[in-house]
Chains A and B, each alone.
Chain A
């Protein structure tokens, strides 16, 4: 039984993620309770919003400690989505410098337009190209479009952690991976068939990411 904890830290759009997980055959529960997180087979860290508010909410609920235990010590697969991916970084520079979870070394900085066509936020469908083979992108064509809506990007300290890139503002990292810790800047729950395939891949017990 796939028990997928969708971490509720007061930052938006949890229902869509839960619906998408259910569509992929997982049992989704939106939670901030340690007992739920302790029994989860998978953890999704979703999130819409600003970096400092996200980290503040995580710490205020004591989730950083519980999540570290589950993800770092017990190595439960964890997928960060959008802000949830950014929070995996060492620190962010949205609004003010803020310490992140620090699970994947790197910084979150504003996208820098390279020309008048690079409007910020980056909103809409754009190509995602994996930089190496990964179970997360199984059965998804290289360069498939996913839905993005963000103004900041994850700059990995170690290129090994970069899983996929997307061509905008000179190119940015659109997926990260380090062991059982994964993150995507786009919204799989809003990326229709390709997005659901990615979530199915994340949840696949036979081919763990």
Chain B
């Protein structure tokens, strides 16, 4: 049986790992290499590494840093941030990324999704969708690390990404990000119902029961989390044990 994945998210900014609240108020949380080594030793299911300032600074991904961290990473690695072209994707895969997350470009130039999927296969294309919720309940997709509205509905954006060849959706609620108040279950449910590719829930995990809700109630295929691992004593292994006790197939 396919196991549900727990994916620690590492956000990279100014040469260090950070974590914020609602894509703001960034705090430094440690060195990349050390964190990767610990996660590798603990056999976490998969790592997500996002360079959150590359696009805004008009930078390419930091291939050298990613090469170094991938060398320590005998586990699946998804890399995003600043990916603008098929060539960027090729270089990221070459230095050791298994999957590449497209966020801003997936909305500004959706044909890139198809180009990458055709060249390297759908399985390595993760479309990362960041959303904010309006007071009327409507969800809207934001790009450039949440700084720019697109006017697009996340369900429609996810469907389009799937049709163009995306292999997974990384779905992040900016409102919930860093709050540890729980995932946006309605959002996850809407998107996971709309597509047949795996949906990774992101933004808001504060305890293990939040993860169980995202998987059991909102049908997420995997859960990503950062604050819970950076700022509390809780580990991915304990999370897996809890979810296993809730009847979810986990890799223990």
Contacts and interface: CB of A to CB of B under 8 A. Distances in A.
Given A13-B93, A123-B123, A195 B74 contact: yes
Contacts of A170: none
Given A12-B124, A149-B76, A151-B122, A48 B2 contact: no
A121 B168 contact: yes
Given A121-B197, A189-B74, A15 B251 contact: no
Nearest to A146: B251
B191 to A, nearest CB: 12
A187 B95 contact: no
Q: Which of A11, A50, A167 has the most CB of B within 10 A?
A: A50
A61 interface: no
A149 B119 CA distance: 16
- By secondary structure, the A interface counts as mixed
A192 interface: yes
A192 B43 contact: yes
B251 A125 contact: yes
B122 A192 contact: no
Contacts of B123: 48, 121, 123, 149-151
Contacts, number: 123
Nearest to B124: A48
Contacts of A192: 40, 43, 74-75
Interface in A181-209: 187, 189-193, 195-196
A121 B96 contact: no
A129 B94 CA distance: 30
Q: Which of A11, A83, A124, A195 has the most CB of B within 10 A?
A: A124
A125 B45 contact: yes
A193 B121 contact: no
Contacts of A190: 74-77, 98
A204 to B, nearest CB: 19
B20 interface: no
B9 interface: no
Interface string B172-214: 0000000000000000000000001110000000000000000
A110 to B, nearest CB: 11
Contacts of B74: 16, 19-20, 23, 189-192, 195-196
Interface in A17-54: 19-20, 23, 48-50, 53
Contacts of A15: 67, 70-71, 94-96
A19 B3 contact: no
A16 B98 contact: yes
Interface in A96-129: 113, 119-127
B221 A123 contact: yes
Interface residues of A, number: 40
A121 B122 contact: yes
A168 B118 CA distance: 24
Contact of B121 (A14, A83, A147, A196): A83
Interface string A48-71: 111001000000000000000000
B158 to A, nearest CB: 13
A48 B120 contact: yes
Interface string B1-15: 111110000000000
Nearest to B97: A13
Given A19-B96, A151-B122, 7 more contacts: A12-B90, A12-B94, A14-B94, A19-B74, A126-B2, A147-B75, A149-B76
Can you list the 6 inter-chain pairs with the closest CB atoms, starting with the nearest?
A12-B93, A149-B123, A125-B3, A121-B123, A125-B251, A49-B121
8 contacts: A12-B124, A19-B96, A20-B74, A123-B5, A123-B123, A123-B221, A125-B5, A126-B1
Interface of A: 11-16, 19-20, 23, 48-50, 53, 83, 95, 113, 119-127, 145, 147, 149-151, 167-168, 187, 189-193, 195-196
